[in-house]
Structure 1
Amino acid sequence: MPQAIAGLLLPLITSSPIYFLGPAAVSAVSLGLGYAATAAALYGIQAAFKPQVDTPKPEDGKFNLRQPVPYLPFVLGRVKKGGDYVFLEERDGTAYHIIVSAGHHIKGYVEHWLHDEKLTLTANGYVDKPDHFKGDGTPLPGNTDYHVRILTRIGNDAEIPYAEVVSKFPEIWTGNHRGDGLASVLMMPDTVAQEDYLAVYPNQEPVHTAVIDGHDRIFDPRTGNLGYTTNLALFRLWHLTHPVGGKLSLSDIYLPEWIEAANVCDEIVINRSGAQERRYHGGFWFRANNDPVDVGRLMDQAAELVVYERPDGKVGVHPGKFVAPDVRLDARDIVALSFDANRRRGSNVLAVRGRYTSPENGYVTTDAAPYGDPYADDSERTRTLENQAVQSHNHMARLEKITFIRANAPRVTVVAHYHAAKNVRFRRFVRVHYPPRLEEAIVELTGRPKLSLRNLTVQFEGIVVPPTLYDFNAAVDEGEPGSTVVPLPPSGVPVPQNFDVVIQNEVVAGGATAAFARASWDFVSAALTYEFEWEPTTGGTKQAAMSKAGDSTVRSSYLADGSQYRFRLRAWSGGKASEWTEYLIRTATADPVAPAPVTGQTATGGAGQIVFSWIAPNSANYFASRIYLNIANDFATATLMATEYGAPNSPDGHTLTGVAAGAYFGWVQAINASGVPAAAAATGSITVT
């Protein structure tokens, strides 16, 4: 009720023209003043105790909100933001995240991001890039190559439920959970093996954000159509007529002035690089519980708008450009005038520093090049201008210059006769001629004019500005923007370099020797540990050993003597592994010392057979003899025909049967238990009949 009384009476007292005041009128106005003062005081007390929520900054959209009942978000223009969780459950190794991005219909999703990585999606919504989101692990249902899938809804009036969630959780999520009018994302990351977790999800649990083209039902009075726009004047008009804003109807709006404001926002300007852009375009998002006054001021500042009440009671707007004043006040009209040259250090500035939302830097708050010289003296007097709805360096540079001019402009307070100044309250600029201080000066109003009923005068405050207030030469006035931050793709844990494996042996219990493998590599950092893996080339169980941090070697457990193995190595850091090296093939050798060669070797041919005989060497590590045969006198190309096991320093022999008739050459070669051979002993030529 206090708001209603104040809203009805205060415009009457401060704004409406008074042509005649009789005794009854004076009495009524006096009573109204009393009610208005009481109502205004009560309204001020309520506002003081009402919790205020600041309009979100770009950084506020980097994380998804988890709370029972969040306030609806509204997205105007193009922004990058997260959303609000409405569903999070896991089943069969896949998590299901439903996140609401906007509480209304949107034009669409432009880009999807997980943490700071931009994604490439397949036609079915599977994350194809970056590559680490593909690979081994438990696949998503119906797919074997991808670990994350993302589906979207743009907030249709009758939306389609996510069938993937309905089928998995029919007991809590049904076909009636459509999300009508809510733009949302369904993210489905799957489970991976523990050792692969940080390789697939290097930032751990995926956090989804998206670049969104927001509200696409913004009314444009120039066409009478609803659609998507980045025009700040149209944002402001939408906000005034929406329940989260001014709650007005279009019949309360003076549309011709809003059409002009929208046209001004669409004007082409040239930026520092010579490219064209729109004068006042941008984008931002806010919540339903944000103070509508603060949200409105954000757009007014970004588009240089002044919203006011016209004489006919409708809401008009002064666009962000200079309009030659049609109200002129001179000494005959002015009752009193105070002039402040504004040359005090405490009130003016040397430079203005702007902060805006940079799409080139991932939609984060970015510093613009300052306008002015903050180091002109040792005071470094600067003013900061921050507006998250501004998304262009040139746009912020223009606002910086305007702010700089206003901060250093002379201040005036004018009291003028009512009949000459009655239209001042409906103007943004007035002309004042009051020599010698003001000669045909342009005064921009900085507050609401006040009507004195006692003296029938109008008092207003303003600043003296040049008619070139909005002129801007980007080549001169726009400083050089900061460098665009290009995030480097994560290089991951480095793959080991100069990996090598050497088979070594040592004496074990009982005096026997056993073989093991020792891996080595180039030292990189004490923060890395290394996983050394091996398995028989014929197949079998894989085994592994971990190095200590800072080491550049690691050994295996004991290997089967004489068996061939393949070995590989990878590095670990912070729970994340590098890629494996290529395999190296080595043969386990417990005894590297060859026995002595056999002696007395002979080979006698017969009908389809050859009889070999020899004397085993007197070597303690002798284990067996191998018999080779070739049709040429070349051991290198000979074929192993048989292995005969026996004791050292004793006669031995072997008969080969089923040999085709012809001329042959034979060899007998002693080996130890590890298969290490002695020199082959030739038997000479052999004839088989």
Structure 2
Amino acid sequence: MRRSVLVATLLASTALTPTRSDAGPVVAWVAGATGVSAASGIATGAFATAFQAGLSFATGSVLGGFAVRAVLSLGLSAIAAKLAPKPPIPTPAAQMVNYAQTISFAERVYGRTRKGGPLAYTAFGNNRRYYVPILAAHPIQGIVEHFLDERSATLTAEADPNLSNIATAPMAGYGRIDVMTGAEGQVANAGLVAAFEEVTEEFDFAGLAVAVLWAKRPPQDKITEIYPESRQWAYTPVLDGKNDIYDPRDGSSGWTNNAALVIADWIVTSLGEEVDWDEVADEADVCDEIVINAEGDPQPRWTINGTLSDATDYEDQRAQLAAAADVYFYERTDGKVGFIVGRWMEPEIILDLEQDFFSVEDVEGQWGEDAPDEVAIVYTEPDNAWRETPSGSWIEEEVPRPLRDTPQVFLVTNHNQASRINKRLARTKRAQFQLSGTIDAIGFEMLGGREGPRGGGRGHRFFGVRDPLTGAVQAYEVGNLTFETFTVFSLTANSVNQEDFAFDAATEEPERPSYGVTVVSDGSVPVPASLTGTALPQGTIQYAWPAQDAAFTQEVRYRIVGDTHWLTARTSESAEVLQVTGLADGATVEAQVRNRTAGAGASPWGPETAIQTVVVVNPTPPGALSDFAVAPAGDGQALVSFTAPNDGQYFGTRIWRGTTSTFGSAALVHTEYGIPSAGDSYTDAAGYGTFYYWAAPINSSGIAAPLTGPESVTLSPPGP
């Protein structure tokens, strides 16, 4: 059998000589796992770490933070049982609360989702209820949309913590929301400190994302109107979560919902394990590939959006992550955790029934009692107030009384992704062949033999089995691969083909279920004649339109240019303005508005071409420059020197150059960043001739002070 040949090759003295850096760790790991003596020299030098990892594995240590009894890899078929209709994880609706309890588990928020959170503090004072829900156990990118109970709320720019900043009627004037994102340098909320003696500057909630709210008593006849639950509002915003996720493709860290980058962050920060960042980069590229949904809109292939709580064990967290992006997890032979997101890959390892298996059972067409006729996962739908929602069904077989499977995958937030997962779950549960058996040491190769475009050491999600009679090869997907003893692995797998992973949304994505009352475009409802957007401080845009009939309320939909999903904000009564907050500095946001009736009627969206507004967090420009001058610096260069204004808003200076004294013909040549009051300069390689220079200080949002200039300079070539 091949087992003896492979073991002999791996354990021969020549193979153990550290002559190939890529093979060394794998060889040492195998040696440790198979019980080779440390006296052989493997457990020293470059091989020590890998040898000890293999030895720990062989003696029963848990690898990768989640291996159970040496389970080295898990595919979709193996984790499907964790997606039962009642998993030990909270539903999205269950998270739309603020609650007080003695012990609260840490919650990590990935991508974009809507949630509440446990109360870090609550007290009554100044005729107001103050409360502080914890939104995440880490810094976040920011709030996308505020919700008080089930009502979307917009905020004003009011800075006084004792005054209301809620703009939406009927709640306007009766409360305040101040969000603390957990950013470095976060300080205690001034209003909370002033209201309670026991609250000091130490209450900065460092590293946590929280919201500080107060709600005051209204007149008796307005209590249920302002507080529908007869108590303070439940604050359950839509937020963009963890904002320090590493992207190995460019070395940056920030917010993302790219499934591969989210999973890598979870492995590193939650499990405390290592990943191969080159492998992560490859998987992230796959996740960013564009697919077209049933509406004809483009979207990334795999995203993850939702909450993971430490109240849920790692196995269930991993199941949710795996199901959301059809992920195959495996333990690499170097001890790192590897994963492959959902896609078809031609098998590179072909197993021989006679040479590679100690025992094997390959069953055809016997799916068992739990094989569904149709699958409709329950996912999180933004258009249904970010609550759990059944997707349209993938029908694998039409029968009079179908067996319907409804697994719960709450980290999925779009119907197209849910539909693709439906197909995969249906196909893997009704695979033509189901294989189980024990294989030899080729199991090590399945864990780390594939060479990718950015390096080796990667596992094999797919393999082929050759029929000894016909020579035909059937493709299989690993369900799980388990280390038993020495060089024996147990293996389960289901047959697959390329079509199982293909998906044509135009013909295969089912119709979405309806979410309550559907708003229908009604030609009798007029569209507002115009819409304007004005950037306000702190990432706010104020939208305005002409006054409308009092019978209509207004709805604005908006999104960052390039996004596919619209967000909406509505007025509770007829109005002429509406503010949207929590937007990223410098982002270009497009928007449209429409009128709505008290029933289900609505006008078309207008204007037909959405208006665009650039977000400005800091609209206050710095002061003007002083001592602005330009002088020759030799070799066709001009020295532009200036003194920055003594202004805390100062961030840098833009410098323009032209060949005439008319600014309109000048071009921006440089931005010099610096500090207030400092002397600064820039040497510009202009060439020869007469040139005119202008400069303007800017703040951190790029808002400029008045121009200084022009100052002219003549640069002459050196004489003979």
The two structures have a TM-score, normalised by structure 1, of: 0.59
Equivalent residues in 2 for 1:181-192, closer than 5 Å: 181-192=207-218
Give the CA deviation at 1:344. Answer: 4.6
Give the CA deviation at 1:233. Answer: 1.2
Once the two structures are superposed, residues 420-468 of structure 1 have per-residue CA deviations (whole angstroms, 9 ceiling, x without a partner) of: 6651343111111115688211111111144664xx6654221111123
In structure 2, relative to structure 1, the CA distance for the partners of 1:214 and 1:21 (3 Å cut) is: closer
Contact 1:260 1:319 in 2 (8 A): no
Equivalent residues in 2 for 1:76-91, closer than 5 Å: 76-91=110-125
Give the CA deviation at 1:271. Answer: 0.6
Contact 1:105 1:154 in 2 (8 A): yes
Equivalent residues in 2 for 1:8-407, closer than 5 Å: 36=59, 54-124=88-158, 126=164, 128-134=166-172, 146-169=173-196, 171-205=197-231, 206-242=233-269, 245-248=270-273, 252-331=274-353, 333-335=355-357, 336-372=359-395, 376-378=399-401, 380-407=402-429
Flag the structure with more relative contact order, 1 or 2, with Cα contacts below 8 A and sequence separation at least 6: 2
- Percent of paired sites with the same residue: 24
For residue 465 of structure 2, the aligned residue among 428, 432, 456 is: 432
Unaligned stretches of 5+ residues in structure 2 = 1-25, 41-51, 70-85, 448-458, 520-720
Match of 1:423 in 2: 445
Give the CA deviation at 1:333. Answer: 2.5
Once the two structures are superposed, residues 121-160 of structure 1 have per-residue CA deviations (whole angstroms, 9 ceiling, x without a partner) of: 11227455542224xxxxxxxxxxx112211111122212
Residue type of the alignment partner of 2:282: E
Equivalent residues in 2 for 1:471-486, closer than 5 Å: 471-485=502-516
In structure 2, relative to structure 1, the CA distance for the partners of 1:255 and 1:200 (3 Å cut) is: closer
Contact 2:166 2:174 in 1 (8 A): no
In structure 2, relative to structure 1, the CA distance for the partners of 1:344 and 1:130 (3 Å cut) is: same
Unaligned stretches of 5+ residues in structure 1 = 1-10, 46-51, 135-145, 489-689
Q: Please give the alpha-carbon distance, in whole angstroms, between the structure 2 residues aligned to 1:330 and 1:308.
A: 22
In structure 2, relative to structure 1, the CA distance for the partners of 1:441 and 1:118 (3 Å cut) is: same
Give the CA deviation at 1:172. Answer: 0.9
State the Cα RMSD in Å.
3.5
Give every structure 1 segment of 4 or more consecutive aligned residues whose post-TM-superposition deviation is greater than 6 Å: 11-25, 32-35, 37-40
Give the CA deviation at 1:331. Answer: 4.9
Q: Please give the alpha-carbon distance, in whole angstroms, between the structure 2 residues aligned to 1:12 and 1:93.
A: 71
Contact 1:119 1:127 in 2 (8 A): no
Q: Please give the alpha-carbon distance, in whole angstroms, between the structure 2 residues aligned to 1:338 and 1:166.
A: 69
**The residue matched to 1:469 in structure 2 has which SS?**
helix
Structure number with larger C-alpha Rg:
1
Q: Please give the alpha-carbon distance, in whole angstroms, between the structure 2 residues aligned to 1:373 and 1:417.
A: 35
Q: Please give the alpha-carbon distance, in whole angstroms, between the structure 1 residues aligned to 2:226 and 2:142.
A: 28
Q: Please give the alpha-carbon distance, in whole angstroms, between the structure 1 residues aligned to 2:337 and 2:248.
A: 14
Match of 1:532 in 2: none
In structure 2, relative to structure 1, the CA distance for the partners of 1:274 and 1:323 (3 Å cut) is: same
Q: Please give the alpha-carbon distance, in whole angstroms, between the structure 1 residues aligned to 2:377 and 2:87.
A: 23
Give the CA deviation at 1:164. Answer: 1.2
Match of 1:540 in 2: none
Contact 1:367 1:482 in 2 (8 A): yes
Contact 1:15 1:451 in 2 (8 A): no
Match of 2:669 in 1: none
Q: Please give the alpha-carbon distance, in whole angstroms, between the structure 1 residues aligned to 2:328 and 2:61.
A: 28
**The residue matched to 1:256 in structure 2 has which SS?**
helix
**The residue matched to 1:98 in structure 2 has which SS?**
strand
In structure 2, relative to structure 1, the CA distance for the partners of 1:44 and 1:472 (3 Å cut) is: closer
Aligned pair count reads: 445
In structure 2, relative to structure 1, the CA distance for the partners of 1:69 and 1:436 (3 Å cut) is: same
Give the CA deviation at 1:292. Answer: 2.3
Contact 1:350 1:374 in 2 (8 A): yes
Q: Please give the alpha-carbon distance, in whole angstroms, between the structure 2 residues aligned to 1:478 and 1:86.
A: 43
Q: Please give the alpha-carbon distance, in whole angstroms, between the structure 1 residues aligned to 2:100 and 2:33.
A: 55
Q: Please give the alpha-carbon distance, in whole angstroms, between the structure 2 residues aligned to 1:75 and 1:316.
A: 22
Give the CA deviation at 1:222. Answer: 1.1
In structure 2, relative to structure 1, the CA distance for the partners of 1:197 and 1:459 (3 Å cut) is: closer
Give the CA deviation at 1:281. Answer: 0.6
**The residue matched to 2:502 in structure 1 has which SS?**
coil
Residue type of the alignment partner of 1:79: T
**The residue matched to 1:223 in structure 2 has which SS?**
coil
Give the CA deviation at 1:62. Answer: 0.8
**The residue matched to 2:93 in structure 1 has which SS?**
helix
Residue type of the alignment partner of 1:477: E
Give the CA deviation at 1:81. Answer: 0.8
Q: Please give the alpha-carbon distance, in whole angstroms, between the structure 1 residues aligned to 2:508 and 2:87.
A: 35
For residue 444 of structure 1, the aligned residue among 477, 498, 523 is: 477
Give the CA deviation at 1:359. Answer: 0.8
In structure 2, relative to structure 1, the CA distance for the partners of 1:329 and 1:346 (3 Å cut) is: same
**The residue matched to 2:418 in structure 1 has which SS?**
helix
Contact 2:34 2:58 in 1 (8 A): no
Contact 1:327 1:430 in 2 (8 A): yes
Residue type of the alignment partner of 2:220: Q
Q: Please give the alpha-carbon distance, in whole angstroms, between the structure 2 residues aligned to 1:372 and 1:274.
A: 22
Q: Please give the alpha-carbon distance, in whole angstroms, between the structure 1 residues aligned to 2:303 and 2:330.
A: 21
In structure 2, relative to structure 1, the CA distance for the partners of 1:166 and 1:452 (3 Å cut) is: closer
Q: Please give the alpha-carbon distance, in whole angstroms, between the structure 2 residues aligned to 1:326 and 1:150.
A: 56
Q: Please give the alpha-carbon distance, in whole angstroms, between the structure 2 residues aligned to 1:16 and 1:398.
A: 41
Residue type of the alignment partner of 2:120: V
Once the two structures are superposed, residues 632-656 of structure 1 have per-residue CA deviations (whole angstroms, 9 ceiling, x without a partner) of: xxxxxxxxxxxxxxxxxxxxxxxxx
